[in-house]
């Protein structure tokens, strides 16, 4: 059952081969057995999950089930969920039981999905290894001495070890795609504005976007169908015609299912900076795409080298503003002893935030402060425009852009933890996509020394269905995604 | 450029984060590493380029200024149940005005 696709799982539930209570209990048992070694979940509440499963079973018995009714889903602990501890990986929110549901949580609830638990993550989604979490690092199921990636590291580890059939994540600079690559999963960052940010704890509001982490592109399409949609409670939610992201996946695969698709290969993604083994695997995948009928064309993204620099001005600037709300007054951590109001703020925030979050707040405060705003913040926004223009120019020549997701396979726990700059550079291929607001998916493309590598497909605005189709056709012929780590029976 | 210890202390105060001398020195070193990365941007000529504040060039939606919650008092109770200190529907903080 645990290797069933979401579609097959839904069929088993609809045919009453298994009940949602049984399926949920199966995963809860797996979490008990394996989570202590992985640390993928921060909160599990079996009673709450099983109550949802019973409701789903009633709905299924009435014949009113949908594609996710009764299926357990793990949620990144960045999504507020009513009556659930919602920590965002931080001591600051270690006592925060949310009084309301995020839009993403509501939408899964309406679909009849079961909430399986809240997954570990880098504190306030600031990190690429899950090592900044107040709740401790997550281990990569493929090699326990390695990181799972971040910031959605708990979600990725949970799905990779089959402790959940699928999970949600958020992606501000690569936080869905990079852990997907490092854990042999498929992870999609939608176009900015497609999924509501309501109730999703904000890091950098102009970049944050929620998306699915699944075992296949087909599973991601089913999840996105539930997650996407207009929400008037998020002022940046886009009011668009609903679309079915699965629509292109069911068609029978011909001999050349991707005939007519032009794939752009940016030379900036294939130079130094990417490990030889990842480059080799991505190049092998390009050959497979040609066999599927796609054409390839060399393209340039000249401003790509500036993306990390611009991002580490814009994201911290927005974070310093967003995280000002954590002041020990209305919710979250308040220091026990203080002299006056200012001292209460200063001590509550010093105690509640970890080192990386403090660093980013300080960078953000600095680049927005008097005398530095133009040189840093406005310059970064101008560079952001150049990066978006590069993509717009590239999409005149190609339909999708292909390259590595991450410059290396999973690195060792502790390897980059003391050096923020090295850590930041692990998102070198993912960050530009967030700056431009484009959709992108990471899918498995093979193994190097037993560790998975991912390739990234980037599309133009609102091309999620096309990306999912291009990913799905590759997965039908190159089933790397079906491999799973040993030791999680 | 590089930051000074005094700038780190000042920014920490602006951000309302208490910082010890040891932490300030350590933070200074890390921030200077990060600013080396950021400085790469300064070499680019961006004259005439419109700053891009958001991922989509669309006007932000506005809504009417009216109460939309159906049970505002029940909601206040739920929200204040998780506050460090409240009284009579108000959030309590240390005395600000003598």
A426-454 residue pLDDT tens = 899 999 999 999 999 999 999 999 999 99
A-contacting residues of B 5-64, CB under 8 Å?
7-8, 11-19, 27, 30-31, 33-34, 36-42, 44, 46, 49-56, 58, 60-61, 63
Based on the fold, state whether residues A239 and A368 are members of the same structural domain: no
Residues of A in contact with B30 (CB under 8 A): 359, 420
- Closest Cβ opposite residue B44 in set A193, A306, A363: A306
Q: Is A194 within a domain?
A: yes
Q: Which of A378, A411, A432 is the last residue of a domain?
A: A378
Mutate to test the interface with B, among A362, A372, A386 (most CBs of B within 10 A): A362
Convert the pLDDT of each residue in A234-268 to its tens digit.
Answer: 999 999 999 999 999 988 878 899 999 999 999 99
Based on the fold, state whether residues A233 and A322 are members of the same structural domain: no
A428 touches chain B (CB under 8 A): no
Q: Please give the pLDDT value at position B70.
A: 83
Q: Please give the pLDDT value at position A431.
A: 98
Residue B91, classed as helix, strand or coil, is strand
Based on the fold, state whether residues A156 and A55 are members of the same structural domain: yes
Q: Which of A359, A378, A397 is the last residue of a domain?
A: A378
Q: Is A441 within a domain?
A: no
Domain CATH number, residue A96? 3.90.1300.10
Convert the pLDDT of each residue in A5-39 to its tens digit.
Answer: 999 999 999 999 999 999 999 999 999 999 999 99
Determine what percent of chain A is predicted with pLDDT higher than 90: 95
A334 touches chain B (CB under 8 A): yes
Q: Is the pLDDT of residue B96 over 90?
A: no
Q: Average pLDDT for residues A215-231, to the nearest whole number?
A: 98
Provide the ipTM: 0.95
Based on the fold, state whether residues A311 and A166 are members of the same structural domain: no
Determine what percent of chain B is predicted with pLDDT higher than 90: 69
Kindly report which listed range (A97-106, A213-222, A397-406, B53-62) carries the lowest average pLDDT score: B53-62
Q: Is the pLDDT of residue A98 over 90?
A: yes
> Which CATH number is B5-43's, of 3.30.980, 1.20.120, 1.10.20, 2.40.160?
1.10.20
Q: Average pLDDT for residues A95-101, to the nearest whole number?
A: 97
A419 touches chain B (CB under 8 A): yes
Work out the minimum CA distance from A269 to partner chain B, whole angstroms. 18
Q: Please give the pLDDT value at position B1.
A: 63
Q: Which of A321, A355, A378 is the last residue of a domain?
A: A378
- Closest Cβ opposite residue A192 in set B56, B93, B94: B56
Q: Judge residue A374's burial from the number of C-beta atoms within 10 Å of its C-beta, 0-12 exposed, 13-18 middle, 19 or more buried.
A: exposed
Convert the pLDDT of each residue in B40-76 to its tens digit.
Answer: 999 999 999 999 988 877 777 888 899 888 888 888 9
Q: Please give the pLDDT value at position A353.
A: 98
**Cross-chain Cβ contact B46/A382 below 8 Å:** yes
Work out the minimum CA distance from A118 to partner chain B, whole angstroms. 19
Mean pLDDT of chain A: 97
A341 touches chain B (CB under 8 A): yes
Determine what percent of chain B is predicted with pLDDT higher than 70: 98
Convert the pLDDT of each residue in A178-189 to its tens digit.
Answer: 999 999 999 999
> How sure is the predictor about A345, in pLDDT bands with cuts at 50, 70 and 90?
very high
Q: Is A196 a catalytic residue?
A: no
Residues of A in contact with B55 (CB under 8 A): 192-193, 206-207, 434-437
Based on the fold, state whether residues A327 and A471 are members of the same structural domain: no
Kindly report which listed range (A170-179, A304-313, A347-356, B54-63) carries the lowest average pLDDT score: B54-63
Based on the fold, state whether residues A174 and A65 are members of the same structural domain: yes
Convert the pLDDT of each residue in A449-479 to its tens digit.
Answer: 999 999 999 999 999 999 999 999 999 999 9
Q: Please give the pLDDT value at position B55.
A: 84
Convert the pLDDT of each residue in A350-387 to its tens digit.
Answer: 999 999 999 999 999 999 998 889 999 999 999 999 99
* Minimum Cα–Cα distance from A239: chain B residue: B61
Q: Please give the pLDDT value at position B60.
A: 79
A315: containing domain = 305-378
Work out the minimum CA distance from A136 to partner chain B, whole angstroms. 21
Q: Please give the pLDDT value at position A370.
A: 84
Q: Please give the pLDDT value at position B72.
A: 80
Q: Is A151 a catalytic residue?
A: yes
A85 touches chain B (CB under 8 A): no
> How sure is the predictor about A100, in pLDDT bands with cuts at 50, 70 and 90?
very high
Q: Is the pLDDT of residue A203 over 70?
A: yes
> What total number of domains does chain A contain?
2
Q: Please give the pLDDT value at position B69.
A: 80
Residues of A in contact with B65 (CB under 8 A): none
Q: Please give the pLDDT value at position A108.
A: 98
């Amino acid at each position: 059952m645990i290797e069933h696709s979401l579609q097959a799982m839904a069929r088993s539930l609809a045919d009453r081969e298994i009940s949602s209570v049984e399926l949920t209990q199966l995963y809860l048992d797996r979490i008990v057995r394996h989570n202590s070694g992985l640390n993928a979940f921060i909160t599990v509440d079996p009673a709450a999950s099983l109550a949802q499963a019973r409701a789903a079973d009633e709905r299924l018995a009435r014949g009113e089930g949908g594609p996710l009714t009764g299926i357990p889903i793990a949620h990144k602990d960045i999504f507020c969920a009513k009556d659930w501890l919602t920590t965002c990986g931080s001591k600051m929110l270690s006592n925060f039981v949310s009084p309301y549901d995020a839009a993403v949580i509501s939408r899964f609830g309406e679909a009849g999905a079961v909430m399986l638990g809240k997954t570990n993550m880098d504190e306030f989604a600031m990190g690429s290894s899950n090592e900044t979490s107040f709740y401790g690092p997550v281990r990569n199921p493929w090699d326990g001495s390695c990181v799972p990636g971040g910031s959605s590291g708990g979600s990725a580890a949970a799905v990779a070890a089959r402790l959940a059939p699928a999970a949600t994540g958020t992606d501000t600079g690569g936080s869905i795609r990079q852990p997907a690559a490092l854990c042999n999963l498929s992870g999609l960052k939608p176009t900015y504005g497609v999924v509501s940010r309501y109730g999703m704890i904000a890091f950098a509001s102009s970049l944050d976007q929620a998306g699915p982490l699944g075992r296949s592109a087909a599973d991601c399409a089913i999840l996105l169908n539930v997650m996407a949609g207009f929400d008037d409670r998020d002022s940046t939610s886009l009011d668009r015609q609903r679309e079915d992201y699965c629509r292109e996946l069911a068609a029978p695969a011909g001999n050349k299912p991707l005939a007519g698709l032009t794939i752009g290969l940016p030379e900036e993604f294939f130079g130094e900076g990417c490990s030889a083994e990842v480059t080799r695997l991505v190049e092998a995948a390009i050959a497979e795409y040609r066999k599927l009928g796609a054409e390839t064309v060399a393209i340039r993204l000249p401003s790509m080298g500036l993306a990390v620099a611009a991002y580490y001005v814009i994201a911290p600037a927005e974070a310093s503003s967003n995280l000002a709300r954590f002041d020990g007054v209305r919710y979250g951590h308040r220091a026990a002893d203080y002299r006056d109001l200012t001292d209460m703020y200063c001590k509550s925030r010093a105690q509640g935030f970890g080192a990386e979050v403090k660093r980013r707040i300080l960078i953000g405060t600095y680049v927005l402060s008097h005398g530095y705003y133009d040189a840093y913040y406005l310059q970064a926004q101008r560079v952001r425009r150049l990066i978006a223009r590069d993509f717009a120019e590239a999409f005149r020549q190609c339909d999708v852009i292909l390259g590595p997701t991450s410059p290396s396979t999973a690195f060792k726990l502790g390897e980059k933890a003391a050096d923020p700059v090295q850590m930041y550079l692990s998102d070198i291929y993912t960050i530009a996509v967030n700056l431009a607001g484009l959709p992108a998916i990471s899918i498995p493309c093979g193994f190097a020394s037993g560790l998975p590598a991912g390739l990234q497909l980037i599309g133009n605005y609102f091309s999620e269905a096309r990306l999912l189709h291009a990913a799905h056709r590759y997965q039908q012929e190159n089933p790397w995604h079906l491999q799973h780590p040993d030791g999680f029976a | 450029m590089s930051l000074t210890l005094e700038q780190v202390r000042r920014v920490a105060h602006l951000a309302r984060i208490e910082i010890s001398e040891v932490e300030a020195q350590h933070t200074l070193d890390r921030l200077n590493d990060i600013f080396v990365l950021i400085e790469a941007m300064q070499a680019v000529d961006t004259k005439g380029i419109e700053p891009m504040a958001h991922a989509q060039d669309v006007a932000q939606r506005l809504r009417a200024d009216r109460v939309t919650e159906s049970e505002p008092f029940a909601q206040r109770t739920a929200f204040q149940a998780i506050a460090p200190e409240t009284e009579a529907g108000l959030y309590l903080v240390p005395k600000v005005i003598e």
